[in-house]
């Protein structure tokens, strides 16, 4: 009788984003008691099938903001709409790295993103 090979241990898939960015993103999501981090390899938040934030594998973070708030954010933080794989995400702003490090300044924008998402039509 031959020796049995041990069962492979399944490893939990992790985000390709830098661990420090994942930690900041998780801290931000935890600041909103109703929001839940989803996605193993690409962390994101959603409500009724509508995504409202995500952490790209590069470590760049995107927030979905309503018109008005979005334009003010772009101007205030001298950033741009999020571009993923050559497609500009019209409602998503690129959160500058410097702002990710200022959690107390970023949290109100995450809350606004959450509130905006709740107004969107649920996806099937």
pLDDT tens digits, residue range 71-112? 999 999 999 999 988 999 999 999 999 999 999 999 999 999
Cβ(83)–Cβ(89) below 8 Å: yes
Task: For residue 47, give the CATH number of its domain.
Answer: 3.30.1460
Q: What is the pTM of this model?
A: 0.87
* In-domain check, residue 81: yes
Nearest to 29 by CA among 2, 47, 12: 47
pLDDT at residue 7 is higher than 60: no
pLDDT at residue 4 is higher than 80: no
Q: How far apart are CA 96 and CA 80, in angstroms?
A: 9
* In-domain check, residue 3: no
* In-domain check, residue 1: no
| Across 14-39, average pLDDT | 94
pLDDT band of residue 27 (cuts 50, 70, 90) is: very high
* In-domain check, residue 5: no
Residue 113 belongs to domain spanning: 19-118
pLDDT for the residue numbered 118: 96
Total domains in the fold of the chain:
1
The span from the first CA to the last CA of the chain, in angstroms, equals: 54
Structure tokens at 118: 């709740």
Q: How far apart are CA 107 and CA 112, in angstroms?
A: 9
Tell me which of 92 and 9 has the higher pLDDT: 92
């Amino acid at each position: 009788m031959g020796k049995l090979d041990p069962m492979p241990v399944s490893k939990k898939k992790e985000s390709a984003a830098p661990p420090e960015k994942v930690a900041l993103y998780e801290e931000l999501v935890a600041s909103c008691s109703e929001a839940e981090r989803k996605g193993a390899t690409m962390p994101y938040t959603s409500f009724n099938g509508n995504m409202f934030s995500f952490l790209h594998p590069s470590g760049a973070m995107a927030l979905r903001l309503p018109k008005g708030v979005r334009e003010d954010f772009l101007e205030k933080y001298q950033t741009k709409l999020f571009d993923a794989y050559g497609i500009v995400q019209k409602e998503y702003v690129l959160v500058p790295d410097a702002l990710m490090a200022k959690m107390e300044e970023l949290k109100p924008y995450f809350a606004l993103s959450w509130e905006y998402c709740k107004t969107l039509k649920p996806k099937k």
